[in-house]
Amino acid sequence: MSFKITILGSSGAVPAFGRFPSSQLVEIQNEFMLVDCGEGAQIQLLKFNGNLQRINHIFISHLHGDHYLGLMGLLFSMHLNHRTKELHLYSHRGLQDIIITQLKYSNSALRFRLLFHELTPGIQETILDSKHFTVETIPLKHKLDCSGFLFREKIKPRRIDKDKIPADISLAQLAALKTGSDIMDDHGKIKYKNESLTLPPRKSRSYAYCSDTIYDIDLINIVQQVDVLYHEATFMTQDEDKASETKHSTAAQAARIAKEAQVGKLIIGHFSARYKELDLLWQEARSILATTELALEGTTFEIHE
Amino acid sequence: MSFKITILGSSGAVPAFGRFPSSQLVEIQNEFMLVDCGEGAQIQLLKFNGNLQRINHIFISHLHGDHYLGLMGLLFSMHLNHRTKELHLYSHRGLQDIIITQLKYSNSALRFRLLFHELTPGIQETILDSKHFTVETIPLKHKLDCSGFLFREKIKPRRIDKDKIPADISLAQLAALKTGSDIMDDHGKIKYKNESLTLPPRKSRSYAYCSDTIYDIDLINIVQQVDVLYHEATFMTQDEDKASETKHSTAAQAARIAKEAQVGKLIIGHFSARYKELDLLWQEARSILATTELALEGTTFEIHE
């Protein structure tokens, strides 16, 4: 089953060199979600063959323009393309007011319901508990109330070992085996040990999104051993004072967090407009963590089972 | 002196096939202005080498998202790039509320003043009276309060004919000649007839922007003989019922208005997402008015003196 992150934009606050502001399409087992929705996100979605009507959840980390200004246009396009399915929006306080104000002046009533979920600043909370995965917030320290998002697949069923399964097993027993139960005989004794007929579950994958944030070692525990961590890397070490001043991180700092947390892969993004070429940022992070990748627009990172 | 229109976007309500929503950069004698500011306008400005800090006036025709959603991102970028010069915004009621609401939740105070100018629905009024040109509104009939914009250079000074100018003419007399006055001798009699020393003024150029609008013959008088008319052409004649229903125009209707008004050139735009190729729209309009051009992104239309 799919677990993919597609980068729609990874520019810092000011778009530059053709780079669009922050937005990502996250797909987990056919559930499509947006993480941040910077200006032009819908244009990027079209460009990279994303189907905007399949998106049912949009997570906005904070209300700086480069993280949400593409949302209103996306909503209008969903409406004009006849969407009727409700849409969940997760954000710190203010997004509802911003959207309602704009709907009012455009004299528009959307064809679909918006369900607003207000995030609680400074704490880690579960905001979506879906059949196959959960989404939790990650408290981030920035100039504004800001949260990252942690996507985690739930523990998966044990897999039936087709080579070993006896012919007399019923469907109910198969279901029980998947949950880890043994199969009992009529006298209440173990007939088949679960492990003799099943294989371990496929691994539960995880993705953490951290933008925007200061260098914050509290994150290490929260993102411990995730398969993929996106961590902002607005600046290089040579501009570390600028990073502190604007409450952002450097590429080296992002890599240090990722390394300490023993993540599988690090993606860096939210690049400042001062850097035309990104290779030096990449090198800076890779010198600390070799599995670092750049959040280049159109790139899809797939997490395999 | 320059008079140029650069197309930044010309998509209809839903962006499609890489086309961005409505926005144009208008330059008259080194004054840079935006007409509409759809999502991604700042990205397009960068792409086509426009300098966003030189823009001092932004005219928003109406508050449908595809005509203004790029404004907030542009303002943030102007701010982050240290703009201090005030900026004039012209719009129907609501824009100020929309901007103030978003500034509030991003906890931002811009470094520069915004001067809001509220347009009056349904009437033609002068909203900018600059040294070299004026801007008037054009009342448009659409689903929402909507105005086009008419840019007209003021009458220019008569030109001194250097081949004919006598050596005894003073600077004050030169200035008087430019205004059309004759030169008198000490007895109050005409010494030099103005026409004998001057050439007629260069022509005063004009540009009319009409988006979005139903087919409205009232426009013919207002845009009479402008050098360039931009008129929306969301649909082709085969979809004329759709045009009526959504209060838009067809390519043929745009061309009919332009032809009746005897404009120099027609630019059509605001193309519906149903048309991947624009050639048929172009052909439809050109069969009525041969000087029709498509509003293709990145194209600059220059009006020569």
Residue of B nearest to A48 (CA): B18
3-state secondary structure of A53: helix
Residues of B within 8 A of A18 (CB-CB) are 43, 46-47
CA–CA gap between residue B213 and residue B243 (Å, rounded): 10
CA–CA gap between residue B10 and residue B254 (Å, rounded): 15
Considering CB atoms only, which of A39, A46, A101 is closest to B70? Answer: A39
Residues of B within 8 A of A106 (CB-CB) are 63-65, 144
SS3 string, chain B, reads CCEEEEEEECECCCCECCECECEEEEEECCEEEEEEECCCHHHHHHHCCCCHHHEEEEECCCCCHHHHCCHHHHHHHHHHCCCCCCEEEEECCCHHHHHHHHHHHCCCCCCCCEEEEECCCCCCCEEEECCCEEEEEEEECCCCCEEEEEEEECCCCCEECCCCCCCCCCHHHHHHHHHCCCEECCCCCEEECHHHHEECCCCCCEEEEECCCCCCCHHHHHCCCCCEEEEECCECHHHHHHHHHCCCCEHHHHHHHHHHCCCCEEEEECECCCCCCCHHHHHHHHCCCCCEEECCCCCEEECCC
3-state secondary structure of A142: coil
A43·B18 Cβ contact <8 A: yes
A43·B80 Cβ contact <8 A: no
Hey, which bits of chain A come out as E strands? 3-9, 23-28, 31-37, 55-59, 87-91, 114-118, 126-129, 133-140, 146-153, 159-160, 183-184, 190-192, 198-199, 206-210, 228-232, 265-269, 292-294, 300-302
Asked if A251 contacts A233 with a C-beta cutoff of 8 angstroms, the reply is yes
Cα-based distances in Å from B215 to A107, B237, B252, B254, B281:
22, 12, 10, 7, 16
**What pLDDT does A89 receive?**
98
**How close B110 comes to chain A (CA, Å)?**
13
**How close B198 comes to chain A (CA, Å)?**
50
**How close A118 comes to chain B (CA, Å)?**
13
Decide if pLDDT at B108 tops 90: no
Taking every pair of C-alpha atoms in chain A, what is the biggest distance, in angstroms?
A: 74
A94·B104 Cβ contact <8 A: yes
Decide if pLDDT at B50 tops 90: no
Whole-number average pLDDT of chain B: 96
Residues of A within 8 A of B68 (CB-CB) are none
Whole-prediction pTM: 0.94
**How close A129 comes to chain B (CA, Å)?**
28
The amino acid that residue A224 corresponds to is Q
Which residues of A form the catalytic set?
Answer: 66
Neighbours of B34 (CB within 10 A): 25
CA–CA gap between residue B232 and residue B250 (Å, rounded): 8
Residue range A33-58: average pLDDT? 95
Decide if pLDDT at A227 tops 90: yes
**What pLDDT does A108 receive?**
86
β-sheet with B292-294: strand ranges across:
B126-129, B133-140, B146-153, B206-210, B228-232, B265-269, B292-294
Burial of A264: CB neighbours in 10 Å, binned 0-12, 13-18, 19+: middle
Asked if A221 contacts A257 with a C-beta cutoff of 8 angstroms, the reply is no
Residue A304 DSSP code:
-
Domain ranges within chain B, ordered by starting residue: 3-156+202-302, 159-199
**What pLDDT does B49 receive?**
84
Decide if pLDDT at B113 tops 90: yes
In this structure, what token pair is assigned to residue B39? 């999502």
Residue range A273-289: average pLDDT? 97
**What pLDDT does B70 receive?**
98
pLDDT digits (tens, 9 = 90+) for A61-82: 999 999 999 999 999 999 999 9
- Which residues of A lie inside 8 Å of B (Cβ-Cβ)? 13-16, 18, 20-21, 39-40, 42-43, 46-47, 63-66, 69-70, 72-73, 76-77, 80-81, 93-95, 97-98, 101-102, 104-107, 143-144
B97·A81 Cβ contact <8 A: no
Classify domain A3-156+202-302 at the CATH topology level: Metallo-beta-lactamase; Chain A (3.60.15)
Identify from B105, B107, B119, B297 which residue to disrupt to test chain A contact, counting A C-beta atoms within 10 A and taking the largest count. B105
Residues of B within 8 A of A95 (CB-CB) are 105
Residues of B within 8 A of A61 (CB-CB) are none
pLDDT digits (tens, 9 = 90+) for A258-268: 999 999 999 99
Decide if pLDDT at B143 tops 90: yes
pLDDT band per the 50, 70, 90 thresholds, residue B1: confident
Asked if A203 contacts A185 with a C-beta cutoff of 8 angstroms, the reply is no
A46·B15 Cβ contact <8 A: yes
pLDDT digits (tens, 9 = 90+) for A90-109: 999 999 999 999 999 999 89
In this structure, what token pair is assigned to residue B175? 């200035």
**What pLDDT does A301 receive?**
98
Decide if pLDDT at B44 tops 90: yes
